[in-house]
A = this chain, B = another copy of it.
């Protein structure tokens, strides 16, 4: 944030990195709130301290801006996955830990979940461009494969479950709770993200995967 060169002009300075970051912040909120087609480039520009021209100057267009937003959102969950510490946990505790990390991340980042939902409406066409640049799934799959291998060696886990399916079951629970909370809450009168119920659902998620995996 501090001026890298001169100390004058506290604001209104030329700083492309800052401008880009501010556009990305606003665009993330807008795209998550309104979807791709529902978002307006003019509106995103109006919510920044710069103009629409800068969006085209720095990103090229609405679509590229959206891809940049997606890229940053996925980078953040990979960072969360990378920080999990579970070398000293037994396999059962380790899968529960992973489920809880996923649960907490999705609960804390509903805008990421919304972007993923939006992306699926668009048949993942933008994520398809992303995976050509970064490996989004590798880290979590490698982590789970290691735990499953240990668990099977110790005779704790069933042998017909693989890492991708385990991740799928955990994601299904954690994504649904956030992604579908509006229709679910409206139809069943239960707020899935009510803070008073968070511990209940975190435990439910852990129980689900641990019991499913049990030999």
Give chain A's interface residues, CB within 8 Å of chain B.
34-38, 114, 116-121, 123-124, 127-128, 131, 136-137, 141, 164-165, 167-169, 171-173, 175-177, 179-190, 192, 204, 207-208, 211-212, 214
Contact = CB atoms under 8 A, between A and B. Distances in A.
**Across the A-B interface, the 5 shortest Cβ-Cβ residue pairs:** A172-B176, A124-B182, A37-B37, A137-B187, A37-B38
A121 B120 contact: no
Q: Helix, strand, loop or mixed for chain A's interface?
A: helix
A123 B33 CA distance: 9
Nearest to A136: B187
14 contacts: A35-B35, A35-B38, A117-B117, A117-B180, A119-B183, A124-B182, A127-B186, A128-B186, A131-B186, A137-B188, A165-B204, A172-B180, A211-B212, A211-B214
Nearest to A117: B117
Nearest to A118: B121
A68 B121 CA distance: 20
A188 B167 contact: yes
Most B CB within 10 A of own CB, among A123, A172, A180, A207? A172
Most B CB within 10 A of own CB, among A118, A141, A167, A208? A208
Nearest to A172: B176
Contact of A173 (B35, B172, B187, B214): B172
A48 to B, nearest CB: 22
Contact of A179 (B117, B137, B189): B117
Contacts of A121: 34-35, 38, 114, 117-118, 121
Contacts of A182: 119-120, 123-124, 127
Contact of A171 (B38, B116, B127, B176): B176
A75 to B, nearest CB: 13
Nearest to A123: B182
Contacts of A167: 188
Given A169-B204, A171-B176, A176-B171, A120 B212 contact: no
B37 A179 contact: no
